[in-house]
Amino acid sequence: MRLLILGTGGMARQHAAEFAKIPGISLVAGVDTNAGNLQEFCDSFRISQRFSSLQAALDWGQFDAVANVTPDGAHYPTTLACLAAGKHVFCEKPLATNHAHADEMAQAAKGLVGMVNLTYRNVAALQKARDMVLAGAVGTVRHIEASYLQSWLTQPAWGDWRTESQWLWRLSSAHGSLGVLGDVGIHILDFASYAAASDIADISCRLKTFHKAKNGRIGDYSLDANDSFAAHIGLENGAVGVVHASRFASGHLNDLHLRIYGEKGGLEVTNSGELGSLRASIGDDMPLAAWRDVPLMPVENNYQRFAQAVAAGQTREPGFARAAALQKIIDLAVDSDKAAR
């Protein structure tokens, strides 16, 4: 597979590094409007073909698939252009900034491979938890609790958000951000419903934007995107749950937590460590409220799944349709907050 990297910012380096590990994949081209970023990125990964526009790359055309690592607001037009040219697409999340666009992209991807980089599908603990739920280990799922906790607004471990555009754009709706809901909300909503083996049926959500700078601005950036959200969800299997995420979760750099409770037991999942961690209170342990660690084995990552999907000519999960369904839930969460219902 000949792969083009579209967008050469920080996340693109992870894409390039992961795809380069897979036998049979060649990194053949890079695209970016920022000439400095493009040169540095392509030099690092020994990519010879370099384009300042997607159209120029499409006119060249000597590639089979695209890793779309552009900013959120650019996913929609760039992905549609690639699909129209018959190219398979591996897109960063969120697929689009609204459900109508995400659904249009999912429809356009039919007949091609369209997958989304919901990175926490790579966590072995998540995959094992889903397998246990599907096998009936906890019985009928009744309740879930899920959180995604970051603290980059209260500590400098990843950089200074007050001065670095790579962080500031995430705080500004005018720069294409849907806030913490769009940035990491899609991850925790997928994490929770995927492990519980049931899609989300409804949501009630409250969004909160905190005061962070004088007049709510830093330079060209209006800091109006939400910083935290708290939601109540209903699953199609009848279970209920609470989901929340924040960039003000001091003491947590990038932590996902999930608890699943059923009639026969419970599971606790985190994304910590190489495999994540999974604890279970099932069988004879459940009446005693005793918990045991569940052994875990590595799982395929999304980059490997995409390569296999292109080779087979058939989309694997997480696909565009899944991402579009999650985007609908995010849109409904925004509507819920606006209507206070």
Picking from 65, 100, 119, the residue at the C-terminal end of a domain is 119
In the chain, how many domains are there? Answer: 2
- Range in 18-27, 85-94, 167-176, 324-333 the model is least confident about: 167-176
Beta strands in 254-336 (DSSP E): 254-262, 265-270, 277-282, 292-293
pLDDT at 17: 98
Residue 276 placed within a domain: yes
**Residue from 130, 125, 121 nearest 302 by CA:** 121
73 vs 75 pLDDT, higher one: 75
Residue 240 placed within a domain: yes
The secondary element (H helix, E strand) that includes residue 27 is: strand 26-31
Residue 11 placed within a domain: yes
pLDDT at 53: 98
pLDDT at 71: 87
- Range in 31-40, 172-181, 281-290, 310-319 the model is least confident about: 172-181
pLDDT at 72: 87
- 89/114 same-domain check: yes
Residue 148 placed within a domain: yes
CA atoms in the 13 A half-sphere facing the CB of 58: 14
pLDDT at 73: 87
Residue 325 placed within a domain: no
- 209/98 same-domain check: no
- 177/153 same-domain check: yes
**Residue from 73, 68, 78 nearest 117 by CA:** 68
- CATH number of the domain where residue 150 is located: 3.30.360.10
Q: What percent of the chain is modeled with pLDDT above 90? A: 93
pLDDT at 332: 97
Picking from 98, 119, 140, the residue at the C-terminal end of a domain is 119
pTM of the model: 0.94
- Say whether pLDDT at 341 is over 90: no
Question: pLDDT tens digits, residue range 16-71?
Answer: 999 999 999 999 999 999 999 999 999 999 999 999 999 999 999 999 999 999 98
- 248/277 same-domain check: yes
- CATH number of the domain where residue 31 is located: 3.40.50.720
pLDDT at 177: 87
Structural domain harbouring 251: 124-298
Picking from 84, 119, 154, the residue at the C-terminal end of a domain is 119
- 172/252 same-domain check: yes
- Say whether pLDDT at 176 is over 90: no
- 291/182 same-domain check: yes
Q: What is the mean pLDDT of the chain?
A: 96
pLDDT at 210: 97
Q: Do residues 191 and 126 touch, judged by C-beta distance below 8 A?
A: yes
Q: How far is CA 37 from CA 7, 28, 79, 213, in A?
A: 9, 17, 21, 29
- 147/271 same-domain check: yes
Q: How far apart are CA 237 and CA 240, in angstroms?
A: 9
- Say whether pLDDT at 274 is over 90: no
- 128/111 same-domain check: no
- 65/198 same-domain check: no
As to burial, measured by CB atoms within 10 angstroms (0-12 exposed, 13-18 middle, 19+ buried), residue 71 is middle
- 136/258 same-domain check: yes
- Range in 171-180, 194-203, 255-264, 332-341 the model is least confident about: 171-180
Give the mean model confidence (pLDDT) for residues 303-320: 97
- 211/110 same-domain check: no
As to burial, measured by CB atoms within 10 angstroms (0-12 exposed, 13-18 middle, 19+ buried), residue 324 is buried
Q: What percent of the chain is modeled with pLDDT above 70? A: 100
Residue 313 placed within a domain: no
Residue 318 placed within a domain: no
- 98/227 same-domain check: no
Give the mean model confidence (pLDDT) for residues 217-235: 97
pLDDT at 175: 87
Residue 306 placed within a domain: no
